[in-house]
């Protein structure tokens, strides 16, 4: 039945793969449901016919009843009025002149603020506007106009900076903003890209019509905007009198082309999660506003409709949020998006996206992406990615990436990677640690530690340690490499130091009549030894060996040095032997050194362990070696243990 012993392992492997496959399917289903949910919630653009209220008409009215005037308006506008004559006073006579005015403006001349309008198909419904002195709210409405041309401006932002009430002018330039009646003083602000911001003080807290006039920015700014639309650099260079600000705009365009991952992802998620009005407000409003707290489901369903322009103290986002900054704490069920800085605590079920700096504690179920510096604690279920430096503790399930330095503690399931600035602290990774610059501290990994600059500290890895220059410290791994060293001690199966290391090639003979080729590599304080040798005088049944060891080297003066080598050799006859023939050797030698060549000689203590069940044992090891001092031997459990003192002489090339 042994041939079926592997079946349980295959079963376990199959179950593991199947479980992983099911988990991936569930995760994909979760993502699809989440995206559908967002799409269901996200605001959409609707297609509609031209608004009745925005049609232009021209009228000359002299002492005519309102009822007759309404008939003329409906004829010109090709629609039907609907109203109750007992509610709407239409017998009153009016006089006015309107040339290319919108129907909304004409009705405003007739009724002032006493009538409300509602469109339904081809009907325009007139209703009495109830005046309630105890109402909590009042409305201000009107058009946003260009000061120079009188043109109605679409996508202008109108907002109240204390309550964060806001409105955006529609395609006809019309806006309506809802304000609190209890405010002691109401000041609304209006602004649009390439226009100067306008402040207006509201004197009476009742429904009213207020047209807002915006002035374009300075001439230079307008020229810059026009030039930015050009695609060819030749057009810019053709005009020698361009203002200096154009150069700045060119630099900004270049910078946008090199936007970081954090900026691109933040922009994409913000566009997906925010309403059209919030996007327009973010473009128009340059001031950062402040608010103590905000609560929302998603950015367009929240208490803060100016999220992208608002810095909040506390933020609670049931699904997702988008703020200019966070001062104290933010909690998000799925995603937190912050355009500028975060101070305090930020926790997200899936992802935190911050445009600039984080100072405090940042935790996410999947990952954190920050466009600037991070301080104190950052923990991501899968990853942390920072465009700046990380100072403090950084922990992730898969990887940590910092474009600049890392100072403190860093741990990842797969790898850590830091940029060219100086880093210091402790790096721990399941696979690899990468530092593309100077690092001071400890690196521990299962596979690879890599420092492209100067390193000071300890590298411990399951396979490879690499450092460009090591000023002081130790490398512990299977393979260690450094370009140059100060007081480094590499400990491993094989260590190579390109400059300042110890790597001579040695030819030697000994009392066993072996001629040996040996390579030593590492540093003089501690190096590893790779050696092979053979008995050249034997033609038939030639003995040969291979071995490995460690050693240390002391310099006595400019021409004399002493080394101690500890090696283990397997002795074979012809091909590799399956029998144990271990030669353990401790060699002490005095070296006379030249610049590139040295001669060494000294005694060696040997301990040979051989398997007496070897059929060729008698012919090979019965009188082995022929030349020695103080030979002793014992036989125990089929193994012969023999010790003696021998001699070795060597010629060494290199340093």
Predicted local distance difference test score (pLDDT) of residue 45: 44
How far apart are alpha carbons 391 and 388 in whole angstroms?
10
User: What band does 271 get if pLDDT is binned at 50, 70 and 90?
Assistant: low
Which has the minimum average pLDDT: 220-224, 316-320, 606-610? 220-224
Q: Could you tell me if 483 and 547 lie in one domain?
A: no
Predicted local distance difference test score (pLDDT) of residue 649: 97
* pLDDT above 80: residue 627: no
For residue range 99-138, list pLDDT tens digits in order: 989 999 999 899 988 898 899 999 999 998 876 667 788 8
Instruction: Tell me the mean pLDDT in the region 383-403.
Output: 96
Cβ pair 496, 460 in contact under 8 A? no
How far apart are alpha carbons 610 and 617 in whole angstroms?
8
In a domain, 345, yes or no: yes
Instruction: Tell me the mean pLDDT in the region 617-621.
Output: 80
Full-model pTM: 0.71
Predicted local distance difference test score (pLDDT) of residue 267: 65
Instruction: Tell me the mean pLDDT in the region 90-98.
Output: 91
Between 574 and 557, residue with greater pLDDT: 557
* pLDDT above 60: residue 32: no
In a domain, 257, yes or no: no
Cβ pair 427, 412 in contact under 8 A? no
Q: Could you tell me if 64 and 145 lie in one domain?
A: no
The CATH number of residue 90's host domain is 3.55.50.30
In a domain, 56, yes or no: yes
Structure-token pair, residue 482: 């450094």
Q: Could you tell me if 107 and 209 lie in one domain?
A: no
* pLDDT above 80: residue 419: yes
Q: Could you tell me if 33 and 118 lie in one domain?
A: no
Query: What residue numbers bound the domain in which 344 lies?
Result: 291-496
Other C-beta atoms closer than 10 Å to the C-beta of 238 total 9
Instruction: Tell me the mean pLDDT in the region 550-561.
Output: 95
Domain boundary among 214, 229, 253: 214
Q: Could you tell me if 162 and 207 lie in one domain?
A: yes
DSSP states of 25-49 as a string?
HHHHHHHHHHHHHHHHHS------P
Cβ pair 263, 255 in contact under 8 A? no
Instruction: Tell me the mean pLDDT in the region 198-220.
Output: 85
In a domain, 85, yes or no: yes
CA distances in angstroms from 187 to 1, 109, 169, 348, listed in the order given: 89, 25, 18, 36
* pLDDT above 50: residue 245: no
* pLDDT above 60: residue 635: yes
Q: Positive or negative, the Cα torsion across 410, 412, 414, 417?
A: negative
The CATH number of residue 648's host domain is 2.40.160
In a domain, 489, yes or no: yes
The CATH number of residue 194's host domain is 2.60.40.4130
In a domain, 475, yes or no: yes
Predicted local distance difference test score (pLDDT) of residue 496: 94
- The 3-state secondary structure of 451-513 reads EEEEEEEEEEECCEEEEEEEEEEEEECCEEEEEEEEEEEEECCEEEEEECCECCEEEEEECCC
User: What band does 249 get if pLDDT is binned at 50, 70 and 90?
Assistant: very low
Between 653 and 5, residue with greater pLDDT: 653
H or E element: which one contains 11? Answer: helix 7-41
> Which of 522, 435, 517, 519 shows the shortest CA–CA distance to 476?
522
Instruction: Tell me the mean pLDDT in the region 153-161.
Output: 91
Strand 335-338 to strand 320-323: parallel, antiparallel, or no bridges (unpaired)? parallel
How far apart are alpha carbons 552 and 225 in whole angstroms?
72
Predicted local distance difference test score (pLDDT) of residue 1: 41
Q: Could you tell me if 297 and 443 lie in one domain?
A: yes
Residue 39 has phi, psi (to 5 degrees) of -65, -35
CA distances in angstroms from 578 to 520, 548, 572, listed in the order given: 27, 18, 9
CA distances in angstroms from 612 to 258, 608, 640, listed in the order given: 73, 12, 7
Q: Could you tell me if 121 and 153 lie in one domain?
A: no
* pLDDT above 70: residue 265: no
Q: Could you tell me if 29 and 124 lie in one domain?
A: no
* pLDDT above 80: residue 234: no
Domain boundary among 214, 238, 260: 214
Instruction: Tell me the mean pLDDT in the region 62-79.
Output: 93
Q: Could you tell me if 301 and 418 lie in one domain?
A: yes
How far apart are alpha carbons 152 and 433 in whole angstroms?
59
Domain boundary among 214, 248, 273: 214
- 232 CB contacts (<8 Å, ≥6 apart)? none
How far apart are alpha carbons 354 and 335 in whole angstroms?
11
**Tally of domains within the chain:** 5
Predicted local distance difference test score (pLDDT) of residue 34: 53
Q: Where are the beta strands (DSSP E) in 413-461?
A: 415-418, 423-429, 432-435, 439-445, 448-461
For residue range 280-337, list pLDDT tens digits in order: 877 888 777 788 889 989 887 877 666 567 889 999 999 999 888 999 999 999 999 9
How far apart are alpha carbons 75 and 88 in whole angstroms?
20
Instruction: Tell me the mean pLDDT in the region 186-202.
Output: 91
In a domain, 354, yes or no: yes
Percent of the chain with pLDDT over 90: 55
> Hunting for tokens 């691109």 — which residue is that?
264
Q: Could you tell me if 519 and 633 lie in one domain?
A: yes
* pLDDT above 80: residue 580: yes
Q: Could you tell me if 26 and 80 lie in one domain?
A: no
In a domain, 565, yes or no: yes
* pLDDT above 50: residue 8: no
Structure-token pair, residue 146: 């260009």
Predicted local distance difference test score (pLDDT) of residue 258: 44
Predicted local distance difference test score (pLDDT) of residue 17: 45
Torsion of CA 99, 101, 104, 105, to 10 degrees: -70
Predicted local distance difference test score (pLDDT) of residue 130: 75
H or E element: which one contains 186? Answer: strand 186-191
Cβ pair 166, 177 in contact under 8 A? yes
How far apart are alpha carbons 462 and 428 in whole angstroms?
12
Q: Could you tell me if 21 and 162 lie in one domain?
A: no
């Amino acid at each position: 039945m042994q041939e079926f012993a592997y079946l349980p392992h295959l079963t376990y492997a199959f179950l593991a793969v199947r479980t992983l496959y099911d988990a991936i399917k569930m995760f994909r289903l979760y993502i699809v449901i989440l995206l559908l949910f967002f799409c269901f919630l996200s605001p959409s653009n609707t297609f509609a016919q031209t608004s009745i209220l925005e049609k232009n008409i021209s009228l000359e009215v002299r002492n005519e009843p309102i009822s007759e005037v309404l008939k003329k308006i409906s004829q010109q506008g090709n629609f039907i009025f609907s109203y109750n004559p007992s509610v709407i006073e239409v017998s009153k006579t009016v006089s006015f002149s309107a040339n290319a005015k919108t129907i909304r403006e004409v009705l405003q001349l007739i009724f002032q603020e006493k009538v409300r309008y509602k469109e339904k198909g081809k009907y325009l419904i007139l209703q009495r506007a109830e005046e309630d002195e105890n109402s909590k709210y009042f409305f201000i409405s009107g058009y946003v106009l260009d000061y120079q041309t009188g043109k109605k401006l679409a996508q202008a932002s109108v907002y109240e900076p204390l309550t964060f009430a806001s409105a955006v002018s529609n395609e006809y330039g019309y806006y309506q903003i809802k304000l609190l009646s209890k405010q002691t003083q109401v000041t609304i602000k209006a602004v649009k890209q390439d226009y100067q911001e306008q402040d207006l003080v509201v004197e009476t807290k009742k429904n009213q019509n207020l047209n807002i006039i915006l002035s374009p920015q300075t001439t230079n700014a307008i020229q810059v905007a026009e030039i930015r639309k050009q695609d060819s650099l030749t057009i810019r260079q053709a005009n020698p009198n361009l203002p200096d600000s154009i150069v700045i705009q060119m630099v900004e365009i270049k910078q946008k082309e090199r936007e970081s991952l954090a900026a691109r992802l933040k922009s994409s998620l913000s566009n997906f999660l925010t309403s059209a009005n919030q996007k327009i407000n973010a473009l128009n409003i340059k001031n950062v506003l402040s608010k103590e707290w905000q609560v929302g489901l998603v950015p367009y369903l929240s208490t803060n409709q100016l999220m992208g322009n608002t810095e909040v103290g506390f933020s609670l986002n049931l699904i997702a949020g988008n703020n200019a900054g966070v001062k104290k704490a933010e909690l998000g069920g799925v995603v937190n998006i912050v355009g500028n800085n975060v101070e305090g605590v930020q926790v997200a079920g899936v992802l935190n996206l911050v445009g600039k700096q984080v100072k405090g504690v940042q935790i996410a179920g999947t990952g954190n992406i920050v466009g600037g510096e991070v301080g104190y604690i950052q923990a991501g279920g899968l990853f942390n990615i920072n465009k700046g430096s990380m100072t403090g503790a950084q922990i992730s399930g898969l990887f940590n990436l910092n474009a600049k330095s890392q100072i403190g503690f860093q741990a990842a399931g797969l790898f850590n990677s830091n940029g060219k600035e100086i880093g210091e602290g402790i790096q721990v990774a399941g696979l690899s640690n990468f530092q593309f610059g100077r690092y001071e501290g400890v690196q521990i990994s299962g596979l690879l530690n890599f420092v492209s600059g100067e390193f000071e500290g300890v590298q411990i890895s399951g396979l490879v340690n690499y450092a460009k220059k090591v000023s002081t410290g130790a490398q512990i791994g299977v393979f260690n490499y450094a370009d140059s060293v100060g007081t480094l001690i590499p400990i491993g199966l094989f260590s190579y130091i390109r400059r300042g290391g110890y790597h001579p090639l040695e030819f030697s003979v000994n009392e066993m009549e072996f001629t040996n080729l040996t390579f030593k590599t590492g540093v003089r304080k501690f190096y590893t030894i790779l050696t092979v040798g053979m008995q050249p005088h034997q033609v038939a049944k030639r003995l040969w060996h291979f071995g490995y060891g460690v050693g240390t080297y002391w310099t006595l003066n400019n021409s004399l040095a002493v080394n101690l080598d500890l090696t283990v050799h397997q002795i074979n006859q012809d091909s590799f032997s399956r029998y144990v023939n271990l030669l353990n050797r401790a060699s002490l030698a005095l070296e006379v050194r030249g610049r590139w060549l040295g001669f060494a000689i000294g005694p060696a203590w040997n301990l040979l362990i051989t398997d007496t069940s070897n059929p060729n044992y008698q012919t090979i090891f019965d009188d082995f070696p022929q030349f020695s001092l103080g030979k002793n031997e014992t036989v125990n459990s089929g193994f012969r243990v023999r010790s003696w003192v021998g001699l070795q002489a060597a010629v060494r090339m290199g340093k």
